[in-house]
Chain A
Amino acid sequence: MENLLKILSKPDNVAIIIMMVMVGFFGFFAFFQAFKNDRKKASAKEEKNKFEKEKIHTWPYLARKEFLVAILVVIVLLAWSIFVDAPLEEHSNPNLTPNPAKAPWYFLGLQELLVYFDPWIAGAIIPLLIIVGLMLIPYIDINPRGNGYFSFAERKFEILIFCFGFLVLWISLIIIGVFMRGPGWLWFWPWQEWDPSRVVAEINVDLTQLFGVNSRSTPGFLMGGSIIILYFSVGMIMLYLYLRKKKPNLLHKLGLTRYLISSFLLWSMIGIAIKIIMRLTLNIKYIWVTPWFNI
């Protein structure tokens, strides 16, 4: 417990506490408003929309709120800056590596991914997929409903996917990286002391080894490769068939390009979660080992 207090009271981690509180509050608040909007009867909604679309003067109705918010933010920031000092550790020393050496907190989610993936995936491919995927959202989401107001019922699927990515993968991996990872990047529960001499005897295996195939042999290479390729192709084809049966209109509107891109991004995201779970439960290191790269 003492250790937890020590981590919590690190000045930089105050920001993370604030982030957790704010994300928690606004996450709850967004869904609260979405459900409230969804519950409203259509006629009442129409009426309310009309009222809310009415225009009022920016000065004073918006300007005064902006000034008030600005004052409030400045007060909070000043108070925070008066009571908590920014950290300044010892002079940098290339010969003295701190244990654990952590990236800035907003990148700790990516650093945490290093446990589950090789650096080229965790540090290059996944960030690229996140950025490109985020940019593509408006172009692959063709559902015209729920434009400009909180709603869950009108766009359940999109919201669930986004919240899975943002809240589960991004935010919670940051929290794990900050609070659960101690010396040697080993997992420490908040009530455990960070013991730099702790050793964890984990024997990582490659997925094919579970089936008795050496992952570094040719059969292992072929087996690992086919698992990855099958995962994506079967996933994408199954989803395609499902949509064709259940929602042919949606699929038609989506078109092949949009479908391929969005289902690839979707299965990649789910794949990351699957790999994390496999690493944590079965100690799986690689699924596919090749001479050039490992996944």
Chain B
Amino acid sequence: MRNIFKNITETQLWKSIFRHGYEDTPRNRALQILGNVFLHLHPVRITRLGVKLKHTWCMGGITFLLFIILTITGVLLMFYYRPAVEHAYWDMKDLEFVVRFGLLLRNIHRWAAHLMVITIMLHMFRVFMTGSYKPPREFNWVLGVILLVLTLLLSFTGYLLPWDQLGFWAITVGTNMARSAPVIGHEGPLGELVGTTAYNDLRFALLGGSQVGANALLRAYVWHCIGIPIIAIVFMAVHFWRVRKDGGISGPL
């Protein structure tokens, strides 16, 4: 048995994939983090406080995990969904009744999205309550606020996609706000002075029209599946990198 194991672990193939053994030595513990592209987001060594759940609540980590879950389920949903007015709603029905585990897939996506909004708010609350935005971490807090806004926008654009009454009117109510923005909204103060109309204002840009229709559905879809995720990934990369560069996970100075 030991010989078979040895024969396998000493092949060129095995060694090319796994760079170190599994014996529990300090060296291997360090290599486990350093030699793994995913784990090496972490430092090799971390303060005792940084490991404690009562200090971090793990809310940032859970938010990131939910983003990954949402990406995976989202890609799977994209196989079954067409962002066109005549198909969108019926594709949702198919997901519910025809596609195997389709309903479960959609449920996971929706509840994970709600949960992500909750956990990102609690992450912000924790960071505030521990004063972790104070120097040298000021800028990472700013990035965090941007990520919070992006998360809300991701959730908001996804709301329209089922093309049912719930999403349609929620988006109508939500984007109506844009029409009242000062200057760039046609019903907002000063809008008329600079020539803003219902056909060139902020709401028009968001919806690709003066009301929620086919263009709005397509725009929501593209922003939801491609535009905002790409922007969010860039900001996340910087956010995580800055955690390391700004002195690691927060703790008493």
User: Hey, which bits of chain A sit against chain B, CB under 8 A?
Assistant: 12, 14-15, 18-19, 22-23, 26-27, 29-30, 33-34, 49, 51-63, 65-66, 69-70, 73-74, 77-78, 80-82, 84-94, 96-98, 101-107, 110-111, 118-120, 122-125, 131, 134-135, 137-139, 141, 143-151, 155, 159, 162, 166, 292-293
Contact = CB atoms under 8 A, between A and B. Distances in A.
Nearest to B162: A88
Secondary structure of the A contact surface, majority rule:
helix
Given A65-B58, A73-B62, A89-B166, A148 B42 contact: no
Contacts of B18: none
Interface string B141-159: 1100110110010011001
Contacts of B190: 292-293
Contacts of B49: 52-53, 149
A81 B107 contact: yes
B145 A56 contact: no
Given A15-B114, A22-B122, A86-B107, A151 B89 contact: no
Contact of B115 (A18, A51, A162): A18
B225 interface: no
Nearest to A151: B131
22 contacts: A12-B166, A18-B118, A29-B54, A52-B47, A55-B48, A56-B45, A57-B30, A58-B44, A62-B46, A69-B62, A73-B62, A74-B69, A84-B111, A88-B92, A88-B166, A110-B177, A123-B180, A145-B131, A147-B135, A159-B128, A159-B129, A293-B189
Interface string B210-248: 011000000000000000000000000000000000000
B31 to A, nearest CB: 9
B111 A80 contact: yes
B21 interface: no
Contacts of B166: 12, 87-89
Interface residues on B, range: 35 or more
A73 B66 contact: yes
A96 B43 CA distance: 56
Interface string B77-98: 0000000000001001100100
B53 interface: yes
B180 A118 contact: yes
A294 B252 CA distance: 48
Contacts of A85: 103, 107
A124 B181 contact: yes
Contacts of B50: 62
A145 B108 CA distance: 42
A56 B126 contact: no
B89 A104 contact: no
Given A135-B142, A148-B131, A62 B47 contact: no
Contacts, number: 275
B155 A53 contact: no
B156 A23 contact: no
Interface string B48-65: 111111110110011001
A18 B163 CA distance: 26
B126 A86 contact: no
B144 to A, nearest CB: 9
Interface centre among B131, B167, B173, B251, by most chain A C-beta atoms within 10 angstroms, is B131
Given A26-B57, A124-B188, A93 B130 contact: no
Given A15-B115, A54-B48, A101-B169, A137 B96 contact: no
Nearest to B146: A135
Nearest to A139: B138
Interface centre among A61, A69, A77, A131, by most chain B C-beta atoms within 10 angstroms, is A77
Nearest to A79: B111
Nearest to A50: B252
Contacts of A148: 130-132, 134, 250-253
A58 B125 contact: no
Contacts of B141: 135, 137-138
Contacts of B7: none
Given A111-B173, A148-B132, A166-B128, 17 more contacts: A23-B118, A26-B125, A30-B126, A34-B129, A58-B42, A58-B46, A59-B29, A63-B33, A65-B58, A66-B61, A80-B111, A88-B96, A91-B164, A92-B165, A123-B178, A123-B181, A149-B131
